[in-house]
C-alpha cells in the first residue's frame, strides 16, 4: 500500500485538512525545537492514554502496577528531569498482563494498547535522539488546547465514557498521521524519512481505536463519530494563541 492509499481513510475520517497557515508556521526553522519537543510530548501522552485505558478497564492491579513501572522512567525524565534519557532497560513490559474477567473486550484492548504503548515509546525515543543530535533542549512546554478540547466532551457514564475516549483517540492519531504526511515534504531528509516512517503505525492506531469503540458499543457509533468530527475540525480550523503539533492556525 502506497502513502496515498494509506492516507485515504484518514482524509475521509477528518472533516478538514490541516490549514496551510499551520504548515507555514511549522516549517519555520525557529519553530523546529518547539515542534520536536511537542512531538515527543505527544508520543508520551499517547502511551499514557493507552496505559490509563488498560488500568481503568482491562487489567488487574498487579498488571496495572507493571504498566506504571514501564512508563515511570519516561515520565521521570520528562516531568521531573530525572535520568539521562537512556531507556534501553525499559523497552518492554516486565510481565504478562492479566485481563479482568468482567470486561468482554479486555484481551483485545490489552493486545492493541500494549502494542500501541510500545510503538509510542519507541517513537518518543526516536524524537529524543533527533533532538539530542540537533542540540534541542527538552524544555517544558504547555500542552495545546487540542486534546483537552476533545476530551471535555466525553460523556461521564459507562460504557459511553470508554466509547467516547476511544473515538477521541482515533481522531488524535488520525490528525497526527495527517500532519506527519503534510510536514514531511517540507523537512530535511532525516526528518522527512522519520515522519514518513511513522505513517503506518499512526494509521493503524487510528483504526484500532475506532474499531474498539464500535465493538464496545451496542449501538452504531456514527453519530458520536460525527459529533467529535465537528469538534475536532473546529479546533484545527480556528485561530490558536500558540504553536503546537496539534494547534490550530
Whole-number pLDDT of residue 133: 98
Strands (E), 105-194: none
Q: Distance between CA 178 and CA 26 in Å, rounded?
A: 14
Residue 33 and residue 193 in contact, taking contact as beta carbons nearer than 8 Å? no
Chain position carrying cell 475521509: 12
pLDDT for the residue numbered 28: 97
Please tell me the distance from the alpha carbon of residue 173 to that of residue 17, in angstroms, as a whole number. Answer: 14
Predicted confidence at residue 101, as pLDDT, reads 81
5 — phi, psi (to 5°)?
-65, -40
pLDDT, mean of each 10-residue run, the chain (249 residues)? 91 97 97 98 98 97 95 96 92 88 92 97 98 96 96 97 98 98 97 97 97 98 98 97 96
DSSP per-residue string spanning 203-214: HHHHHHHHHHHH
How high is the pLDDT of residue 59? 97
The predicted pLDDT at position 37 comes to 98
pLDDT given for residue 92 in this prediction: 87
Q: Is 157 left (phi over 0), alpha (psi -120 to 50) or beta?
A: beta
Distances (CA, A) of 219 to 28, 109, 124, 216: 45, 19, 36, 9
For the chain, list the domains and their CATH numbers: 3-236 (1.20.1260.10)
pLDDT score for 94:
78
- Residue 204 contacts residue 9 (beta carbons within 8 Å): no
Whether the CB-CB separation of 127 and 15 falls below 8 Å is answered with no
| Residue 148: per-residue pLDDT | 96
Number of separate helices (H) and strands (E) present in the chain: 9, 0
Question: Distance (Å, rounded) from C-alpha 38 to C-alpha 237?
Answer: 19
Amino acid at each position: 500500500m502506497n502513502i496515498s492509499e494509506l492516507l485515504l481513510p484518514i482524509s475521509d475520517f477528518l472533516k478538514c485538512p490541516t490549514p496551510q497557515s499551520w504548515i507555514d508556521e511549522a516549517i519555520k526553522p525557529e519553530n523546529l525545537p518547539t515542534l520536536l519537543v511537542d512531538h515527543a510530548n505527544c508520543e508520551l501522552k499517547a502511551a499514557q492514554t493507552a496505559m490509563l485505558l488498560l488500568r481503568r478497564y482491562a487489567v488487574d492491579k498487579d498488571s496495572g502496577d507493571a504498566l506504571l513501572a514501564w512508563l515511570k522512567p519516561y515520565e521521570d525524565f520528562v516531568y521531573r528531569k530525572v535520568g539521562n534519557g537512556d531507556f534501553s532497560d525499559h523497552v518492554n513490559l516486565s510481565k504478562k498482563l492479566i485481563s479482568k474477567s468482567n470486561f468482554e473486550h479486555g484481551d483485545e484492548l490489552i493486545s492493541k494498547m500494549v502494542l500501541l504503548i510500545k510503538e509510542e515509546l519507541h517513537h518518543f525515543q526516536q524524537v529524543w535522539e533527533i533532538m539530542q543530535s540537533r542540540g534541542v533542549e527538552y524544555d517544558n512546554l504547555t500542552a495545546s488546547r487540542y486534546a483537552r478540547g476533545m476530551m471535555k466532551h466525553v460523556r461521564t457514564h459507562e460504557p459511553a465514557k470508554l466509547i467516547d475516549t476511544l473515538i477521541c483517540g482515533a481522531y488524535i492519531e488520525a490528525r497526527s498521521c495527517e500532519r506527519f504526511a503534510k510536514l514531511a515534504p517540507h523537512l530535511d531528509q532525516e526528518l522527512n524519512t522519520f515522519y514518513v516512517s511513522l505513517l503506518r503505525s499512526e494509521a493503524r492506531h487510528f483504526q484500532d481505536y475506532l474499531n474498539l469503540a464500535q465493538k464496545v458499543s451496542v449501538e452504531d457509533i456514527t453519530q458520536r463519530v460525527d459529533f467529535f468530527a465537528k469538534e475536532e475540525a473546529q479546533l484545527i480550523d480556528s485561530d490558536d494563541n500558540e504553536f503546537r503539533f496539534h494547534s490550530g492556525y
